[in-house]
Chain A
Amino acid sequence: NMMYGSLRVLLQVLWAQLLCGWVLGSELTFELPDNAKQCFYEDIIMGTKCTLEFQVVTGGHYDVDCRLEDPDGTTLYKEMKKQYDSFTFTAAKNGTYKFCFSNEFSTFTHKTVYFDFQVGDDPPLFPNENRVTALTQMESACVSIHEALKSVIDYQTHFRLREAQGRSRAEDLNTRVAFWSIGEAIILLVVSISQVVLLRSFFSDKKTTTTRVGS
């Protein structure tokens, strides 16, 4: 009985170790200043299916350079000035994979970039001992609802990012319109007054020269 108990503990420990191979994804939004490059690294086990998805949320022309390299330095994915993209690959080697976002082409706009790097599948919810038996109908229904809800949340995130982008553009437009109207009013007044003053000065000078010539 004692042996059976400790064997179960060992099995669960091993199962937990196995679970750790299935790492959760990372989803981050960070600021990328102008002329800057930001790199992220992750250790991936061979054979894991990974997905890198990124989107530029605010800044300039809403584009960024992205580059994904495998442990030997081979470029798996390289795109310049992309606004949004998604790239899926299966890790061919064990090691540290690196992906970088670059804003080096931009001189004064800093950007906000969102990325979602999914590695492998999500870990099972409940590491139980009854893995040998198939899931009941209720459990498999729960699993499919869970997957559907995950994709709903994913769509919501993309929608939120698009909305943030649209809102950022609208707020930019609003400030530009305000500055432009004030600026144009000032320019109009300055130009019209200086036109009158200049015309007056033409006629005033002519008058003095004629009198000087006369005398």
Chain B
Amino acid sequence: MVIVREREGPCLFSVLLLNVLCSFVSALYFHIGETEKKCFIEEIPDETMIIGNYRTQLYDKQTAEYLPATQGLGMFVEVKDPDDKVILSRQYGSEGRFTFTSHTPGEHQICLHSNSSKFSLFAGGMLRVHLDIQVGEHANNYAEIAAKDKLTELQLRVRQLVEQVDQIQKEQNYQRYREERFRQTSESTNQRVLWWSIVQTLILVAIGIWQMRHLKSFFEAKKLV
């Protein structure tokens, strides 16, 4: 048993390394202009971890294809929490990985823009950004957890199920909080409509009375009535 474990160590590491490297290869990508800022919204419950991986490529006119970006070109990543407070604001290189954990439930905004100051670098082209954002349970690296805690396959599967159920529970708690806010907004609208219809009726009646009295006194003064 011990011999098997010793052999598995470096094997696992190489698999892990390859997984990490290969996961960068075919992620979703999009194009971003030089001064453009692209924002993504993640609505998450509290105590949820988010891991974002990105990789940039610059269009090379000579070879007419996208090549890995030069060293000087980095991306500025800014993360705002639901109260518009900045919780992460860092510059990374042409390839980067950012992690944060939410402390308040709600809409978090992840914004990316390039830090390019040399306008010639883009040469009118676009920057290709490969992006991958993993939320909550998806952010867990199970190979790492298995190696660290020395879990069998069954134990690892059960661990994954536990993490999933945990995420479901957090989301439902957050759902309860959101529903309360929604109910408060609806009740506020209901109150406003009720209050406004009463006030409107009173204003109309008061103005009507004022108009008639004022005009009557005016005509009496003019000796027309």
* Residues of A that sit less than 8 Å from B by CB: 5, 8-9, 12-13, 15-17, 19-20, 23-24, 26-31, 38-44, 112, 117, 125-128, 136, 138-139, 142-143, 145-146, 149-150, 152-153, 156, 159-160, 163-164, 166-167, 170-171, 173-174, 177-178, 181, 184-185, 188-189, 192, 195-196, 199-200, 203, 207
Closest Cβ of chain A to B130, distance in Å, is 9
Chain A residue at smallest Cβ distance from B23: A20
State which size class the interface on B falls in.
35 or more
Contacting residues of chain B (1-41) with chain A, CB-CB under 8 angstroms: 7, 10-11, 14-15, 18-19, 22-23, 25-31, 38-41
Assuming A31-B39, A196-B214, A203-B222, is B188 touching A174 (CB within 8 A)? Answer: yes
- Distance A126 CA – B175 CA, assembled complex (angstroms): 32
Q: Which of A24, A28, A125 contacts B138 (CB 8 A)?
A: A24
Main secondary structure of the interface of B (DSSP, over half): helix
Q: Which of A44, A125, A181 contacts B192 (CB 8 A)?
A: A181
B64 contacts partner chain A, Cβ-Cβ < 8 Å: no
Chain A residues with Cβ below 8 Å from B146 are 126
Assuming A125-B160, A174-B192, is B43 touching A20 (CB within 8 A)? Answer: no
- Distance A166 CA – B179 CA, assembled complex (angstroms): 10
CB<8 Å pairs between A and B, sample of 28? A8-B11, A17-B18, A24-B23, A24-B132, A26-B131, A29-B40, A29-B42, A31-B41, A38-B30, A126-B146, A126-B157, A139-B154, A145-B161, A149-B168, A152-B168, A153-B167, A156-B175, A160-B178, A163-B178, A164-B43, A164-B178, A167-B182, A170-B182, A170-B186, A170-B189, A196-B214, A203-B218, A203-B219
B196 contacts partner chain A, Cβ-Cβ < 8 Å: yes
1/0 per residue B186-225: CB within 8 Å of A? 1011001100100110011001001100110011001010
Is the Cβ of B19 less than 8 Å from the Cβ of A163? no
B133 contacts partner chain A, Cβ-Cβ < 8 Å: yes
Closest Cβ of chain A to B211, distance in Å, is 6
Chain A residues with Cβ below 8 Å from B171 are 153, 156, 160
Chain B residues with Cβ below 8 Å from A167 are 178, 181-182, 185
- Distance A17 CA – B27 CA, assembled complex (angstroms): 15
Chain A residues with Cβ below 8 Å from B189 are 170, 173-174, 177
- Distance A203 CA – B42 CA, assembled complex (angstroms): 67
Chain A residues with Cβ below 8 Å from B172 are 156
Chain A residues with Cβ below 8 Å from B211 are 192, 195-196
Closest Cβ of chain B to A67, distance in Å, is 15
- Distance A189 CA – B182 CA, assembled complex (angstroms): 34
Is the Cβ of A142 less than 8 Å from the Cβ of B181? no
Is the Cβ of A28 less than 8 Å from the Cβ of B154? no
